[in-house]
Amino acid sequence: MTVQELVGELESVTLENIKRHSEYKPRWDDFYTMWQRFGPQAARTILIPYIWEGNAPRPSETNYGKRKD
């Protein structure tokens, strides 16, 4: 896995579905605050170290990893 691949996977994480990603619960408040203040890309970016260090699975490894359009 590369950082670019992880960034691509994080595109599926939105304000609407972040709470369904129970694996990311420790970061919900940070994600929401960043989304409101700086936008979606900033919110997703704060998840990168958390996932990269193995504290949570990649979005594709969760039940909600697939983007629903």
**69 assigned to some structural domain:** no
In a 3-state reduction of DSSP, which class is residue 53? Answer: coil
Confidence of residue 62 (pLDDT cuts 50, 70, 90): confident
Supply the pLDDT for residue 68: 42
Residue 65: its pLDDT value, please?
Answer: 53
On whether residue 67 sits in a domain, the answer given is no
Number of domains present in the structure of the chain: 1
Domain range enclosing 8 = 3-61
**Whole-angstrom Cα distance, residue 51 to residue 38?**
20
Q: What would the pLDDT profile of 6-59 be if each residue is shown by its tens digit?
A: 999 999 999 988 888 888 999 999 999 999 999 999 999 999 999 999 999 999
pTM of the full structure: 0.81
Q: Say what the pLDDT of residue 69 is.
A: 37
Residue 22 is predicted with a pLDDT of 86
Question: Pick from 34, 68, 63, 38: which is nearest to 50 by CA?
Answer: 34
> Residue 28 corresponds to which tokens in the numbers above?
């919900």
43: in domain: yes
